[in-house]
Amino acid sequence: MILYRYILKAHVGPFIFSFFTIFFLFLFQFLIKALDQLVGKGLSLWIIFQLITFNLAWIVTLAAPMAVLVATLMAFGSLSSDNEITIMKASGLSLPKLMAPVLIASVILSYAMVRFNNDILPEANHKARVLLTDISKTKPTFILEAGKFSDDIGGFKILVKKTFENNNNLEDIYISDYSNPATRNVITAEKGDISFTSDFKHIVMNLSNGEIHQLNNLDYTNKYRVIKFDKHRIIMDANGFGFQQSGDNAFSRGDRELSSYAMNQIVDSLKKSSNTIGEQLFRRIYPDIIKISNYKLKDTVYKAPVGVKLNPNDTTGKNPAYDTLKTLYSRIMVYRNDYKNQSTIRKELEKQVDQYDVEIYKKYSIPFSCIVFALIGAPLGYRVRRGGFGIAAGLSLLFFLLYWASLIGGEKFADRALLSPLLGMWFANIVLGVFGLILMKKSS
């Protein structure tokens, strides 16, 4: 027991170090990717903090299994380089027995990650998507540059000759107001200031010492009017400039924003819908099949008397079953087109089922990789006999690339129905798990 605690203790430091190293690498990558959507929109630090916090969930999901591999490589590599494992094996302990506490810890971590993926990750993904959608809808902060026309506000073109960095004051202002189709206003002012209302829904411009040149677009016979003012206020719609946060229920949830239980319910519903398509089509055509089967067709051809001209509209002596056949044929053509449409719908439903199954299996296969990486890292670290972070990071990177390439490839094939979702999501674990068992056997 003391020996097992010693082995686990050797993993704690490397695991924490590698976890946070990988964690911050993913976080840095996310910030670089999201930077373009955040800059210049006047977002508060609290909104940015929320966005980062919600995106930490998927980072934890990916960082934990990776940290297991790095930690086991470093720990067993260090124990092997100091000949501690050799001494332990000489005392009668095999490598699988030395790996037992690590495998038990990885099983516990896998279970914790499964719970995390079903309880926390879907909520965090949904909140992150809603928040990022709200941010993407927010227009960049409204800025007036001296000597340049601005038409960012609908219905207005604004030109100012002078602005001030330390305040909102403006000088030599020109505004073309075409927000009202009935009139065209051109407003000039010597001075003014500009600001947002507290809810960021309107922009307010207070003007001083100016004129309003007004022209009626509907009646050009009216005289051109000029209105002089000492003080004048213009209120413009600023919809989209201020950040407006939506509620959690504002958007429907995607497959990555649902627990496996919720997705299983959707899958069951989709399968029922898919199965009823054929049944509904059969019930529609079955009455016609019964109807035609009840008629007996004559085995002789109807003949007209010699010398009598046939009337195409004369149906005397015809078997009514022929009319039914003609009607049935027409309906079969309709049913054929209907069948094609229903087949397309059914394929789409089956595609959705596969996509949900992929996400369901992924919630379990990625946590299970903690066990697989522990199975690989321990014997590999023992054979390498190096406990440094550089060696561990290099070897881990190789296995990470193999694992994620297999996982992503399996997901793509499963989404296109070229591979079953079960095999697509578990293929990487199966291959690397078998490799780990072989490596452990050879190292023993």
Nearest to 383, CA basis, from 77, 122, 83: 77
- In this prediction, residue 333 carries a pLDDT of 74
- In this prediction, residue 316 carries a pLDDT of 47
Mean pLDDT within 143-169:
80
Token digits for 76? Answer: 């067993």
What whole-number distance in Å separates Cα of residue 127 and Cα of residue 260?
A: 18
Q: Give me the residue label for tokens 């009607």.
A: 327
Token digits for 411? Answer: 């997901």
What whole-number distance in Å separates Cα of residue 318 and Cα of residue 363?
A: 67
DSSP class of residue 1 equals -
- In this prediction, residue 164 carries a pLDDT of 80
pLDDT of residue 428 exceeding 70: yes
CB atoms within 10 A of CB 314: 12
Mean pLDDT within 350-367:
90
- Domain residue ranges in the chain: 2-138+357-443, 156-237
Can you say whether residue 234 is alpha, beta or left, with left for phi > 0 and alpha for psi between -120 and 50 degrees? beta
Token digits for 275? Answer: 């199965």
What whole-number distance in Å separates Cα of residue 120 and Cα of residue 113?
A: 10
Quick one: how far is CA 171 from the chain centroid? 47
Token digits for 392? Answer: 């561990």
Q: What is the pTM of this model?
A: 0.71
How confident is the model over 296-311, as pLDDT tens digits?
555 544 455 555 555 5
- In this prediction, residue 68 carries a pLDDT of 93
How confident is the model over 7-53, as pLDDT tens digits?
889 889 999 999 999 999 999 999 998 887 777 666 778 888 999 99
**266 or 332, which is more confident?**
266
Lowest-confidence range among 67-81, 149-163, 231-245?
231-245
H or E segment at 216?
strand 202-216
How confident is the model over 207-251, as pLDDT tens digits?
999 998 888 776 666 667 888 999 999 888 876 665 666 666 767
Q: Give me the residue label for tokens 């959705």.
A: 352
**141 or 441, which is more confident?**
441
Q: Are 388 and 74 spatial neighbours (Cβ–Cβ below 8 Å)?
A: yes
